[in-house]
Every structure is written in structure tokens, then in C-alpha cells.
Copies of this chain bind each other. A is one copy, B any other.
């Protein structure tokens, strides 16, 4: 049973971080494992941040979200091909942002004064660049490079030897709600992929509690186009995408092993899934429709109850009222994940639906959430904007 409770994430207090943290009203239900609502003692009042690879959509989102963050100060934005340009030339919607530096080459950044880095670079490149970064930096990496614990799996799916296997060992997988305690002390956080976020948030607790079977999970996912990035490809032109939908990467999508890694951990044994992503004519938004088999004796209500219990205290995850269907448009621009469980007409089965904004909870928002953890700020800082509809 969900009991709404008002909870402010910045208690009035004397610590320097707290005094600048803004008051946000979080809607949550009281349970045990809530994220710490206040800043950690000793956290930095100003965190100087560099965004590497800032000319893509995830980089722009980091900048957009930073504008509501009282502690982050962006001191460097890199983009090797666009170096020298004002950021507003590359992202004119941010022309009204204050204090945004021009783009520079990554080699021209002086990391001495930098505290933390969002790494928004393409995979493979990322490994080499992170390897060369100074040790004092906190890093949230939005690429796929450090998400797969097994470097052989990485090599198999990404087509090349991993260049930094020792860093891979150090990296912490950043699905915040599931690995909060490991993320907090981490130096390098591997921010999850968008599909894996939308799948693991609902299925992890269900597998962990053995309410669903692990050998018959069918995932039909639908994603907005921004997930494909900003590089100019014929297939992603407006005219190619509008007024149509299609499956892609059938059985071959690179998020597959990442999902299987997480679900295997939850199930305590290797899990293989059926996963078919679809491309939608929307800019943002992702839905995973998951067809699962109930364990002996488990009911649809048990699944809902487990998810409600698991996320009762989480500010960004919400199990909707019974029968209410999540829409991607209801999380647009926000860091929320909405989910629900439905009975299937096939007996012994259930349908789980989860939606996120692929650029926020599926990328830059979760990255910010992780940086907040790592830096000791209240986890929700700069992330409590509500969804924008229409």
C-alpha cells in the first residue's frame, strides 16, 4: 500500500552543501532503504565538472540538468571536431544557459582543477581516454565500455579487445537503485544503457525473489530516435523515421549482454533472454513490454506487490495504480521510471511494462544521479523536474 509522504531532500542545516541545496518535494513511501535525503558531511560546495564528448545529445542533457544543480560548475566541454565553437553554436537551445564554456579539444583540458567528469564519448575510444585521465577524478562514463564485467563478452559484442581490463575491474555498474551502496564510494561508474535500465528496474527484483522464471523472458522494447545519437546517418533522417516504425537489431542488439548480465545476477544463474528493440518516431522515450512466466504459486498481484515494496522509498521509480498503463509521454524530460504489472490471457504469464526517458533515466539523468551519490550530494539534486507534457 502506497502512502504518500512529503520529504524534503535538503534539510535546513549548517553543512555548506546543504545550505545551497534547493528544497524539492519528493513523493515517496516510507520504507527502509531510502536514498539519503541530505548531503554528506564534507562534500564539496562547488564541484568542477568536465563533460567529455559534449557535442552529442547526452552531453547536452548533462548541461541542461546542470543548470538546476546548485553545486556543479561546468568548467570544460570537449568536442574534438567542434573545438573552438561556442556551445550554443552546437546546441542553440542552450544559448540561454549561463557560464557555459566553449568547446575545446580533450587534450587542451587542464584536469588539475576538475573534480569530476561525465564521459559521453563513443565506445572503444572511451577506454583509452579514461585510462589516461588523472586518478583524482570521479568519472561517470555514459558509454558501454565498462558495463560488461567480463571483458571477453565485451570483445564478443563490441568487436575488439578491451583496452583497459584493469579499469573494468574497478568500475561499478551504475544502475542507481540497485547498486547505490557500491556506487557511493566508486571512482569510475559505468552508467547503464537505456534498454538495460528499463528492463532491469522491473525484472531484477522479480527474478531475485524468484517470482518469475528465468528461462522464458521475452522483451519487446520500443525506443525513441535520440538513442541513436546525433551522427548524421541516412537511416535517422526525419523523412526516414517519421510516420513509420520498425524492429531493428533483432537478436543482435548490443544491450543484450548487459541485460543478461544483470538478470543473471538477480537470478543467481545464467539467464538468456529474447530481446527485440523497435524504433519509434519519437525523439525521447522508451518502453519495454516484458512477457514473463510466473513461478509456481506466484500471482500477478505478488509481482506488483514485490515491485511496490522494492521501490517504495525510491524517488525516481513508481509503480502505478492497479490497471494504469505507463506511457512514455508521462516521463518525457524527467528522471522517472513508471512501471506496472498486468495479467496475461495466457495463464501462468504476466506482462510487465516500464517506461523511461532514454536520455534522462536512460542516460544523463541517471549519470547525474550517480555523480550526486559519488560527490555526496542529495541524490535527487537537479533531477526533480516533472515530466513535460505535452
Q: Tell me if A248 is interfacial: C-beta within 8 Å of chain B.
A: yes
CA distance A326 to B244 in the complex (A): 11
Cβ of A346 and Cβ of B216 under 8 Å apart? yes
Cβ of B327 and Cβ of A245 under 8 Å apart? yes
Contact of A67 among B64, B272, B385 (CB under 8 A): B385
Q: What's the nearest-Cβ distance from chain B to residue A137, in Å?
A: 24
Q: What's the nearest-Cβ distance from chain B to residue A230, in Å?
A: 6
Question: Which residues of chain B are near A287, meaning CB under 8 Å?
Answer: 245-247, 278
Question: Which residues of chain B are near A285, meaning CB under 8 Å?
Answer: 243-245
Cβ of B22 and Cβ of A244 under 8 Å apart? no
CA distance A222 to B353 in the complex (A): 15
Cβ of A332 and Cβ of B389 under 8 Å apart? no
Q: How many copies does the complex hold?
A: 4
Q: Tell me if A174 is interfacial: C-beta within 8 Å of chain B.
A: no
CA distance A230 to B251 in the complex (A): 29
Question: Which residues of chain B are near A289, meaning CB under 8 Å?
Answer: 220, 247, 276, 278
Contact of A345 among B23, B96, B216, B274 (CB under 8 A): B274
Q: Tell me if A218 is interfacial: C-beta within 8 Å of chain B.
A: yes
Cβ of A386 and Cβ of B67 under 8 Å apart? yes
Cβ of A226 and Cβ of B390 under 8 Å apart? yes
Cβ of B251 and Cβ of A343 under 8 Å apart? yes
Contact of A98 among B27, B275, B283, B291 (CB under 8 A): B27
Q: Tell me if A79 is interfacial: C-beta within 8 Å of chain B.
A: no
Contact of A333 among B237, B247, B273, B388 (CB under 8 A): B388
Q: Tell me if A269 is interfacial: C-beta within 8 Å of chain B.
A: no
Can you offer 17 A-B residue contacts whose CB atoms are under 8 A?
A6-B99, A60-B389, A93-B330, A93-B331, A94-B387, A97-B386, A230-B234, A232-B236, A237-B237, A245-B328, A247-B287, A248-B325, A274-B344, A274-B349, A278-B289, A359-B390, A385-B385
